[in-house]
Amino acid sequence: MTTGLRRERVRASRQWRDGAFRNPSGLGPALAGDALPLLREYALGDAEREPRVALPLLDPRPVWQRPPESGLRVTWLGHSTLLVELDGTVLLTDPVFGERASPLPFAGPRRFHPVPAPLEALPPIDAVVLSHDHYDHLCAPTVRQLARRGVPFVTSLGVGATLERLGVEPARITELDWGEATQVRSVELVATEAQHFSGRGLADRNRSLWSAFVLRGERHRCFFSGDTGLTAGLSETAARYGPFDLVALEVGAFHPAWGAIHLGPAQALTAFEWLGGGALLPVHWGTFNLALHAWHEPAETLLSLAAPRDHRILTPRLGGSVEPGRETPLDPWWRPLVRVTLASESSPEPA
């Protein structure tokens, strides 16, 4: 529960109306009445929502032993967790190192793969960038570990109350409304408009804000979407803060019923174009079963739709690092795994 100065800042926000945060468009999650077709699709669908073979992991620790040659390097640790080395500053986005994206330790979406590197193996973190409070972005066990290390958090309005309950010192929490900024060493962090929602239970829906973030260094600029649907605010962000060297956009956990609050591959490409291009790093896929599509579909569909548009797409393996300033060949690493699964399914039963 937000109290004191935090509550005053929440209520002063332009996004706070009628006791909750709202998207400027008025859009939000699908209504409860739309849930029945989704439940039917969930029960009867045959998509391979979880991989049937082990996913290949890279150990990023040897790469982290040397600074990025270009000044900008990003390591994908799964889902929306990125280690961003930007002009001498190290940032960690939406860190989820726990086993489940769930309030319960014994139930809920469980990760497909181990974390490529344990939390204690990460280089010193200058700040965590936390987009919103959903369980697949704000992981309680991970936050508790980071709190013990004294890592600062930069997050959206109202999220600080949850961080404090998990042990983060108030002095180490910076909450931002859209358009507000804070400085972390050489990098300016700006919270920008996203179209989503928030809440970790039935009683706190939309009581904290959700944000995308611009990371502006002395030489490089990145955009991190958090979770968002397609919103005109992306074009405004590009005009005010671009151009970007790297754009990290969520592509997974998509469905037509959720089109207002998640991009999915097609809308991600539109968002990428609205943001002015650069290099596109797809995130929010490949780690948890949070949707009705096949686990690999977001990346495969993205590449299929992007091919005629000549966009630059970066698809590192889990634990893989990319430098947007360097030439990086496209690596559809999931395709051999899908072929192995299909081959095993088509093999005749032994006599």
pLDDT top residue among 76 and 45? 76
Q: Please, which pLDDT band fits residue 143 given cuts at 50, 70 and 90?
A: very high
pLDDT-above-90 percentage for the chain:
86
Q: Please, which pLDDT band fits residue 32 given cuts at 50, 70 and 90?
A: very low
Spatial separation of the C-alpha atoms in residues 197 and 132, rounded to whole Å: 8
29-33, 113-117, 165-169, 240-244: which has the minimum mean pLDDT? Answer: 29-33
Average pLDDT in the chain: 93
Give the chain's domains with CATH numbers: 50-346 (3.60.15.10)
Asked if the model's pLDDT at residue 230 lies above 50, the reply is: yes
Model pLDDT, residue 44 = 57
Model pLDDT, residue 33 = 45
Asked if the model's pLDDT at residue 346 lies above 70, the reply is: no
Q: Please, which pLDDT band fits residue 47 given cuts at 50, 70 and 90?
A: confident
Say if residues 106 and 95 touch (Cβ distance below 8 Å).
Answer: no
Model pLDDT, residue 43 = 57
Q: Please, which pLDDT band fits residue 315 given cuts at 50, 70 and 90?
A: very high
pLDDT top residue among 40 and 22? 22
3-state helix vs strand vs coil in the chain, percent to 5: 25, 20, 55
Model pLDDT, residue 351 = 43
Average pLDDT over residues 127-132: 98
Tell me the pTM.
0.94
User: pLDDT digits over 197-216, tens only?
Assistant: 999 998 999 999 999 999 99
User: pLDDT digits over 233-250, tens only?
Assistant: 999 999 999 999 999 999
Spatial separation of the C-alpha atoms in residues 224 and 128, rounded to whole Å: 13
Average pLDDT over residues 177-188: 98
Asked if the model's pLDDT at residue 172 lies above 60, the reply is: yes
Q: Which residues, listed in sequence order, are joined to residue 90 by a DSSP beta bridge?
A: 85
Asked if the model's pLDDT at residue 113 lies above 70, the reply is: yes
CA distances from 208 to 56, 57, 104, 150 (A): 36, 34, 21, 23
Say if residues 59 and 117 touch (Cβ distance below 8 Å).
Answer: yes
CA distances from 83 to 4, 93, 206, 231, 330 (A): 33, 7, 28, 26, 20
